[in-house]
Amino acid sequence: MSNCDSCASKGTCNSEGSCSKETFKYGNAKNIIGVISGKGGVGKSTITGILATKLREEGYKVGVLDGDITGPSMPRFFGISDKRATIIPTGENEEVKIIPVETKTGIKVMSLNLLTEQEETPVIWRGPVITGVLTQMYTDTEWGELDYLLIDMPPGTGDIALTVMQSLPVTNMVVVSTPQDMVSMIVKKVVIMIEKMGIEVLGVVENMSYIKCGSCGEKLNVFSKKSAEEQAEYLNIPLIADMPINLDLSEEMEKGEVETFIINNEEYAQLYNNFKNLYK
């Protein structure tokens, strides 16, 4: 059950008692972690994919729920956009069971783009419909026994993000930002929202923090001269890692070999190790 004292809807909610959290119908997850950003385009889905791949490399059973319904990108990230999830009617009150798609390393992925005929098909739905679909993808997917479920959250502080925090048993959040003052300001709003919902913020990943010189390896700041440590201090949360712009990652995504690339990349190993040290 959720804690009403920490809920942003306290005083305006019509629910009697605490709001119940949704549960899996077909499986269980020991740890449910959201990855969120203040706005789109900062690499939130990339960080979700990196963490999922590194967890899987360690032998954990991992699932990824693509919660960014209007901008789903996890199938393309993992190179499975040509595959489709399977919907099986259960014969009970028109309920269904959804079989997710597995990546090359065995990560179970559920995304709206795995249910539509074409990945370019837009979602022209209002908020309540979107949140209903997201909740159903969470509850009706055959996840099996997972050690970790990572939720690629919708960006910002809108209805969908609020619904996830209120109705799904997310225990921790990883925040993704970029080194720009405007982004930092918006991310600060997200951090405050998460804390008001009673969810622990593990820390921030500053993505696109720099570019490495191909000749000498020097770190070249692209956006801001402020350090990642300064941004973390402003947000008042731990710094998990500052990550470079990596053009090779995009190329490996296009080839469908992104998991192998992540496993062999030392910078991603450091991100993962820092994440695990904070998540105990």
Is 43 labeled as ligand-binding? Answer: yes
- To the question of whether residue 44 is assigned a binding role by annotation, the answer is yes
41 is in an annotated binding site: yes
106 is in an annotated binding site: no
Backbone angles phi, psi at 91, to 5 degrees: 80, 10
Please give the structure tokens belonging to residue 40. Answer: 């789109």
Q: Give DSSP secondary structure letters for 42-68.
A: SSHHHHHHHHHHHHHHTT--EEEEE--
Cα maximum dimension of the chain: 64
Known binder of ligand: residue 17? no
In this structure, what token pair is assigned to residue 261?
A: 């690339």
* Opening angle at CA 51, ends 47 and 57, nearest 5: 145
> Is 40 labelled as part of a ligand binding site?
yes
Dihedral angle, C-alpha 167, 108, 280, 232, nearest 10 °? -70
Q: How far apart are CA 99 and CA 242, in angstroms?
A: 35
- Report H helices in the chain: 44-57, 74-77, 127-140, 159-167, 181-196, 228-235, 247-255, 258-263, 266-278
Q: Residue 10 to residues 73, 160, 180: CA-CA distances in angstroms?
A: 33, 18, 33
User: Please, what is the end-to-end C-alpha distance for the chain in angstroms?
Assistant: 22
Detail the residues annotated as belonging to a binding site for ATP: 38-45
Detail the residues annotated as belonging to a binding site: 38-45
